[in-house]
A = this chain, B = another copy of it.
Amino acid sequence: MRLTILGCYSATPRSLTNPTSQLLEIRNHMFLIDCGEGTQVQLRKQKLKFSRIKHVFISHLHGDHFFGLPGLVSTFRLLGRESELHIYGPKGIKEAITLLLKLGDSWTNYPLLFHELNSKESELIFEDDKVSVRTIPLNHRVYTNGFLFEEKLAPRVLDVEAVAKYSIDKSEFRNIKNGKAGTAKSGESILNSDLTLDPPKPKSYAFCSDTAYKEDIVPLIKNVDLLYHESTFLETEEHLCAKTKHSTASEAARIAKKARVDKLVLGHYSTRYKSLELFKEEAQPIFSNVELAEDGKVFEI
């Protein structure tokens, strides 16, 4: 699983900082998470084959999280895309994108499928045999969801040493991989668990932006391998959090600690601060395994 930060700053795009967008590569999927203005250029700069994106997840309808989407949808049309594009986002996103396409008489020549969200409870919004995606209801000024991306448990792996030890015939390997017992040369039946190894632990990633401090999300993101939690402010600006419904770096760290996540990544920084290191310094005493998102940075999970 690989996460590329395309943009991790709040509010307005600037010469060297981009609004929120991330690309998650997970079990052959390319999931785009949020799409601030300039996202398609960021995708090009990172040399990502972005025509492979089939699912776009939009947390909320503030401009810094989705004003790059109309352009991306149009670019896919110009590039001759034929495959479906699925867009998951708050109710209203379909009307917005559809209106812009209508005004430009620029309907897509590929299927554009909207999955509008309005539940206040966490819900499963995407699932196949390898991956699931659930919403994480957040607390922001407008209806907002984070997203939990989870790999599914892969099949058990054949234990090469064990099958050799019991002299199991190769013709049985497929059945054993599918969970069946095996037959030793002696005729004895061998339990599947004695012939296979546990598959790699499935990985998980939780994206939580934008939100005020919200402890309710802790059970939803428990033990994830990577948590991206917004930290728009430092504690010195904590008084701005209630009105703007954003979090401080220490609040993000407290959520990470309570949820016992493996690693925390901070982002959605206000551009008022001179150094991003200040965010890390504030979070680290509370939760030590913390890193800073930066535009273009890649996290291997």
Interface, chain A (partner B; CB < 8 A): 11-15, 37-38, 40-41, 44-45, 60-64, 67-68, 70-71, 74-75, 78-79, 90, 92-93, 95-96, 99-100, 103-106, 141-142
The one of B13, B70, B100, B141 that contacts A41, using a Cβ cutoff of 8 Å: B13
Contacts of A79 in B (CB 8 A): 12
Known: A38-B37, A41-B15, A63-B74. A141 touches B105 (CB 8 A): yes
Contacts of A67 in B (CB 8 A): 67, 70-71, 74, 100
User: Quick check: A12 and B75 within 8 Å, CB to CB?
Assistant: yes
Known: A95-B99, A104-B142, A142-B104. A78 touches B40 (CB 8 A): no
Contacts of A70 in B (CB 8 A): 63, 67
User: Quick check: B96 and A100 within 8 Å, CB to CB?
Assistant: yes
Contacts of A105 in B (CB 8 A): 141-142
Closest chain B CB from A243 CB (angstroms): 14
Interface centre among A61, A62, A103, A106 (most CB of B within 10 A): A103
Contacts of A104 in B (CB 8 A): 60-63, 142
User: Quick check: B12 and A78 within 8 Å, CB to CB?
Assistant: yes
Q: Which residue of B lies closest to A19 (CB)?
A: B71
Question: How far does the alpha carbon of A121 sit from the alpha carbon of B82 in the complex, in Å?
Answer: 39
Q: Which residue of B lies closest to A36 (CB)?
A: B71
Question: How far does the alpha carbon of A68 sit from the alpha carbon of B71 in the complex, in Å?
Answer: 9
Closest chain B CB from A66 CB (angstroms): 9
Contacts of A15 in B (CB 8 A): 41, 44-45
Write 21 A-B pairs (CB below 8 A) sorted by A numbering: A11-B75, A12-B40, A12-B79, A13-B40, A13-B71, A15-B45, A37-B37, A37-B38, A37-B40, A37-B68, A37-B71, A61-B103, A63-B71, A63-B74, A63-B106, A67-B70, A67-B74, A90-B103, A92-B103, A93-B103, A105-B141
